[in-house]
Structure 1
């Protein structure tokens, strides 16, 4: 393997890690309820949406962009994800992959997590879907 090939390989390995750390740092700066919603969406995407490394990085960076702007504008979580968070995540993910199979249990978990995050906006933190 030539030095150029080694450099390219190292860049491919380190680049996504740097992007991931930068994304996580951005999410950490969000207000708690937005951070909770992003965490729920992130878990769902990581488990059920097949993508390659570059698509993953772009998808999560775009997710951070969306929630940073919403937090800055004071947009409620429900206005971002709508009444069906699974539908929102499925539509969001279609921009980055061919899609994947999402079990009903995972859909319910995402819906419950978003409900908890959005509940603090209306004072109904324990509202179930």
Structure 2
């Protein structure tokens, strides 16, 4: 990763944060909780940079249609996030797989 990639990444992230800040307060609060949860759970695809902007797109559409954030996602933020990443491997899954592979290799 070169300096140009780092600079572009920062520009992209700043633009993303500006979009989040432009959301109504209830949407922004829920987005921030979702972001914390997803960073904690650690789906591998989070680093690809598509999941969080996709959530902002979804929220912007909800705002434009006049819906409340809980009308879009339901009352359980964690359950909604789990639904988004249900088929996505997490870093915890990858770590567990590596440990299992080492145990299998050591047992042979």
- Using structure 2 for the length normalisation, give the TM-score: 0.70
Aligned residues: 92
State the match for 1:17 in structure 2. 10
RMSD over aligned CA atoms reads 2.2
Residue 92 of structure 1 and its aligned partner are, at CA, apart by 1.5
State the match for 2:37 in structure 1. 44
1:29 aligns with 2:22: yes
Alpha-carbon distance between aligned partners in 2 of 1:93 and 1:18, rounded to the nearest angstrom: 26
Alpha-carbon distance between aligned partners in 2 of 1:62 and 1:21, rounded to the nearest angstrom: 16
Q: Where has structure 1 moved over 3 Å in runs of 4 or more?
A: none
**Aligned CA distance change for structure 1 residues 11 and 68 (closer, same or farther; 3 Å):** same
Asked if 1 retains the 8 angstrom alpha-carbon contact of 2:74 and 2:80, the reply is yes
When structure 1 is superposed on structure 2, of 65-74 and 78-87 the one drifting more is 78-87
Asked if 2 retains the 8 angstrom alpha-carbon contact of 1:16 and 1:54, the reply is no
Asked if 2 retains the 8 angstrom alpha-carbon contact of 1:49 and 1:99, the reply is yes
Q: Give the gaps of 5 or more residues in structure 1.
A: 1-7, 102-129
Q: Give the gaps of 5 or more residues in structure 2.
A: 93-108
- Using structure 1 for the length normalisation, give the TM-score: 0.60
SS of 1:19's equivalent in the other structure is helix
Of 36, 43, 51, the match for 1:59: 51
Alpha-carbon distance between aligned partners in 2 of 1:91 and 1:61, rounded to the nearest angstrom: 17
**1:20-59 superposed Cα distances (whole Å, 9 cap, x missing partner):** 111100010011111111111111112222336752x211
SS of 1:13's equivalent in the other structure is helix
